[in-house]
Structure 1
Amino acid sequence: MRKSVSAMLLVAAMLLMAALTGCGEDKKPAEAPKAEQKPAAAAPAPAAAPAKEMQVGFVYVSPVGDVGWSWAHDQARKAIAEMPGVTTSFVESVPEGADAERVIQNMARKGYDIIFTTSFGYMDPTLKVAEQFPNITFMHCSGYKTAPNMSNYFGRMYQARYLTGMVAGSMTKSNILGYVAAFPIPEVIRGINAYTLGVRAVNPKAEVRVVWTKTWYDPATEKEAAKSLLDVGADVIAQHQDSPGPQEAAQERGVYSVGYNSDMSHFAPKSLLTSAVWNWTPFYKDVVEKVRKGEWKSGAFWPGMETGIVGIAPYGDMVPQDVRSKVDARKAEVVAGTYKVFSGPVKDQNGAVRVPEGQVLSDQDMLGMTWFVEGVVGSTQ
């Protein structure tokens, strides 16, 4: 029995040695002949990180159409929609007030990154929704309120208004110019005043008569308001609304007109002298990039003609070269900052000096303007 056990142990030991020898061979295989070493190919450069996806919404007070305030904003919306990683959408013809709050809130609930609200009456609804959604950037056009995640913005359109006034003052024969005004708020009053200063810079005897429509977009009402001004002898019509109604009224009567927001010559080619126009694209692109990079900060933005955001449309064929040259020269001064529209002396319509000679009206005073300059016929109510 002991012999048998010894034999068995001997066999087991031999098997164990064989197994250990085999394992050693697996761990250290014979070396293959070394091939000629070649330099390793350079690793491809890492792909650039994709741009952060952005969803941007716009709220418009009037139909987009093919002319006017909302159309001008929508041209910029289309431009930023071409930026990598940017998706846009809009809602048009949104009344100011409760309807606006509902539309803005709906966009916020859908997780938009930026919401542009583009009418003065959207200010309080925008602020209310901004307080509820602190991680969304809100941009309100033409108001004056801000929040940590909400800015206000506009452009120095009064500069372009002044230049169009120079054109109109040069072209009037009756020295009566009509202005179809929207609402009696500082934005509109400031534009009327700048236009009148431009008119009287070239024609001190001219006056600007104002009629209020209390509308932003009502073609029939705005056209009738223009007719009422034509009936009292106005031979140039300007406006502050979206529709081309006043331009059409002027052409039908065979007199001149000055458009607003966009080039309205398509609607009144025989009447239109020029228009004060918007180009929001550079501003909107800048906002989107700043938000994407985390560089956006709340504030109040008021860029001027030097940025290209405000300007005037091409002159109509009826505008003589000497008038064009005079206006272009003043435009160059405005862009360079060497001429300020509200430079003293500036009197109000009652003859009181509001800006003394050698002084310039402050931005704060312009933004809160509630009085008419000398040469305006009408009330600020």
Structure 2
Amino acid sequence: MTRRRIFTGHLLATSLAIAASLGWSGAALAQAKLKVAAVYTVPFEQQWVSRIHTALKAAEARGEIEYKATENVANADYERVMREYATAGNQLIVGEAFAVEGAARKVAKDFPKTAFLMGSSGKPQAPNFSVFDNYIQEPAYLTGMIAGGMTKTGKIGLVGGFPIPEVNRLMHAFMAGAKEVNPKAEFTVTFINSWFDPPKAKEATFAMIDKGADVLYAERFGVSDAAKEKGKLAIGNVINTQPQYPATVVASALWDMSPTIALALKNVKAGSFKAEDYGPYSMMKHKGSSLSPLGTFEAKVPADLKAKVKAKEADILAGKFTVKVDDSQPKSTAK
């Protein structure tokens, strides 16, 4: 036996002895990093998915997980990709199941020891299918207050993807906030029936502007582009796009998936992951959502309006004011 082999054998034995003294098994050492995979039907940069992807990339950068993800997965391929990731031994699979609910839940049933955390309008499915969505109706209400105070025509436009609960509740909260500040505000609501079609969203926005809307709620990409071209204002959603539109986007309701992802990873590591609703961890009290800084609009938003918004934000955080959750499809009120 060579000296190198003798040395290597001693080193391995020493390492195992240290691990044993600390209560670590070989399996535990091998599982130091969780294997996590994500399946997305849209590009990484799409607002909603970007929040999940960013939180998982941050966990990867901290050395907590091994992360693999696939973007732009067609609905017809979603089940196959999920199944491949589960078969490959990933311990946690994340994604959005809105248009592929049945397929996603079927895969979860077939892999009961794998943890699934999916954006969904449905309920958790025992034992391993947890759900979440963007419960950011609180900052959406605050941005509505800003919109109501900034409109000069009293006409506000809202452009959304699909009229599903996750979109509907944000629009209703936004409109309620606007009405608190401006009871006479009128709204035009349009859905483009796509999660990622900036040109279509842009055209819908132009139509609203032609009818007098001077503040636009940008639930989808493309709205702020139209507002910029026409010299109107926009309110962002999920991510802060003011750096790209410094003279257009007044404020945004921001979503941070970090608290949700951190809890899911903690539960998987502890072996305590179960079917539950992670949605509440997107709320302001858990730092899962927030109102963006006014930034370039700090001096342009009236002081009294800023004071009203700040007071309402404080009431929300203190539990003195609850933003109503209305998942029904919002309707236009403009004449």
User: Shared topology, TM-score over 0.5?
Assistant: yes
Q: What is residue 370 of structure 1 aligned with on the other side?
A: 328
Q: 1:286 aligned to 2:263?
A: yes
CA distance in 1, matches of 2:315, 2:64: 39
CA distance in 1, matches of 2:228, 2:23: 56
Q: How big is the shift at 1:124?
A: 2.2
1:127-146 to structure 2, matched below 5 A, reads: 127-146=105-124
1:43-192 to structure 2, matched below 5 A, reads: 46-47=21-22, 49=24, 50=29, 52-65=32-45, 68-95=47-74, 97-147=75-125, 148-192=127-171
CA distance in 1, matches of 2:73, 2:243: 26
Q: 1:329 aligned to 2:311?
A: yes
Answer whether contact 1:144 1:300 (CA < 8 A) is retained.
no
Q: What is residue 3 of structure 2 aligned with on the other side?
A: none
Q: What is residue 257 of structure 1 aligned with on the other side?
A: 234
Answer whether contact 2:97 2:104 (CA < 8 A) is retained.
no
Query: Structure 1 residues 44, 181: CA separation in 2 closer, same or farther (over 3 Å shift)?
Result: closer
How many residues in Structure 1 have an aligned counterpart in Structure 2?
Answer: 306
- Cα deviation digits, residues 78-104 of structure 1 (max 9, x gap): 111134451011111223x32221221
Query: Structure 1 residues 175, 119: CA separation in 2 closer, same or farther (over 3 Å shift)?
Result: farther
CA distance in 2, matches of 1:54, 1:329: 42
Match of 2:181 among 190, 194, 202: 202
Secondary structure of the corresponding residue to residue 78 of structure 2: helix
Any unmatched runs of 5+ in structure 2? 1-16
Answer whether contact 1:183 1:212 (CA < 8 A) is retained.
yes
Q: How big is the shift at 1:273?
A: 0.7
1:215-294 to structure 2, matched below 5 A, reads: 215-241=194-220, 243=221, 245-294=222-271
More helix as a share of residues: 2
Secondary structure of the corresponding residue to residue 179 of structure 1: strand
Q: How big is the shift at 1:74?
A: 1.5
Query: Structure 1 residues 157, 126: CA separation in 2 closer, same or farther (over 3 Å shift)?
Result: same
CA distance in 2, matches of 1:215, 1:101: 21
- Cα deviation digits, residues 156-196 of structure 1 (max 9, x gap): 21111111100000000000000001112222222111111
The one-letter code of the counterpart of 1:64 is F
Answer whether contact 1:116 1:139 (CA < 8 A) is retained.
yes
Q: Considering Cα pairs closer than 8 Å and 6+ residues apart, tell me whether 1 or 2 has the greater RCO.
A: 2
Query: Structure 1 residues 171, 292: CA separation in 2 closer, same or farther (over 3 Å shift)?
Result: same
CA distance in 1, matches of 2:97, 2:228: 29
CA distance in 2, matches of 1:268, 1:238: 14
Answer whether contact 1:123 1:140 (CA < 8 A) is retained.
no
CA distance in 2, matches of 1:264, 1:69: 13
Query: Structure 1 residues 167, 94: CA separation in 2 closer, same or farther (over 3 Å shift)?
Result: same
Q: How big is the shift at 1:125?
A: 2.0
CA distance in 1, matches of 2:37, 2:18: 38
Percent of residue pairs identical:
32
TM-score, normalisation: structure 2: 0.85
1:293-304 to structure 2, matched below 5 A, reads: 293-303=270-280, 304=283
- Cα deviation digits, residues 279-335 of structure 1 (max 9, x gap): 111210111111111122211222211011111211142323332221121111112
Any unmatched runs of 5+ in structure 1? 1-42, 343-362
Indicate the structure (1 or 2) with the bigger Cα radius of gyration: 1
- Cα deviation digits, residues 180-227 of structure 1 (max 9, x gap): 011122222221111110000000010111011001111111111111
Q: How big is the shift at 1:260?
A: 1.0
Q: What is residue 7 of structure 1 aligned with on the other side?
A: none
